[in-house]
Amino acid sequence: MPNNSLTSSSNTNAAAIRALQMELKSLQSQPIEGFKVVCDEDNLFKWTVAIFGPPGTLYQGGYFKAVLTFPTNYPYSPPSMRFIQPVYHPNVYPSGELCVSILHPPVDDPQSGELSSERWNPTQTVRTVLLSVISLLNEPNTSSPANVDASVSYRKYKEEGDQEYANIIRKQVDKSKEEARKDKVVVPETIEDYVVPTKIAATNNNDVIDMDEDYYDDGASDTTDVPESEHAEDSGQGDED
């Protein structure tokens, strides 16, 4: 008799692989600003993500690498995310593990203070996870910190202007630049370089329009001027025979 549990596990793996292949293709064709995603196609369940610190923040110029690990029943269970380099942040454990609601399993946990709607659900994607990470970098959740010391330091920085938190982040940013040089990665440090140009397909499906170019007309009419003589002929107002 066939082993139903093995068959079910195989089907689950195949579904997860298909989902991850589609997401990887989407991220390659439509990248997210502030991220570089690298995946070994021999192991789709583990991705390396490079996070570029957003310009105008303490993390500007930073290059922080993390590993996304996916379960075999993805997307029904969330991935986990762990920073490879030290990241001093209220929502990052000293081990590097990221603590954010969107990566928590969809179970009721009244002790966590999280709403079930804030947790993972199968409609979430890697794209939504990465966008949440950028948001969390700039606006930590200090109500349930993973790193209590970092949380206290951050609150002093925001409320009292204490610079300890900022100084630690700047040192980590400087250290991360060494890693970027090793990887031969140029980290964007201006808004212009950081933002990914938005492209839309043209109607003939062969061209791509770059929305950063002068796409819109300057107000000139598209109608070609027609000589008055032609107007006259068309309206039957030419010279009589």
Is 0.85 topped by the overall pTM? no
User: Within 93-185, where are the H helices?
Assistant: 126-138, 148-160, 164-182
Q: Contact at 8 Å (CB) between 58 and 77?
A: no
Lookup: tokens for 97 = 């593990």
Average pLDDT over residues 194-211: 50
**Separation CA 173–CA 63 (nearest Å):** 7
Q: At what angle do helices 164-182 and 148-160 cross, to 10 degrees?
A: 120
Lookup: tokens for 44 = 């789709």
Compute the mean pLDDT over every residue in the chain, rounded to the nearest whole number.
81
Average pLDDT over residues 128-147: 91
Lookup: tokens for 49 = 């993500």
| Coil, strand or helix at 4 | helix
CA 206 from centre of chain: 27
Domain 12-108+115-194 has CATH 3.10.110.10: yes
User: At residue 114, does pLDDT exceed 80?
Assistant: no
Of 213 and 135, more confident: 135
**Separation CA 129–CA 101 (nearest Å):** 10
What was the pLDDT predicted at 241?
47
Residue 117: exposure state from Cβ atoms within 10 A (0-12, 13-18, ≥19): exposed
Please confirm, yes or no, whether 99 is among the known catalytic residues. Answer: yes
Q: Contact at 8 Å (CB) between 88 and 172?
A: yes
What was the pLDDT predicted at 201?
41
What was the pLDDT predicted at 215?
34
Tens digits of per-residue pLDDT, 154-166?
999 999 999 999 9
- How many other C-beta atoms lie within 10 A of the C-beta of residue 89? 25
Confidence of residue 205 (pLDDT cuts 50, 70, 90): very low
Confidence of residue 219 (pLDDT cuts 50, 70, 90): very low
User: At residue 94, does pLDDT exceed 80?
Assistant: yes
Q: Exactly one of 99, 102, 126, 130 is catalytic; name it.
A: 99
User: At residue 83, does pLDDT exceed 70?
Assistant: yes
User: At residue 233, does pLDDT exceed 80?
Assistant: no
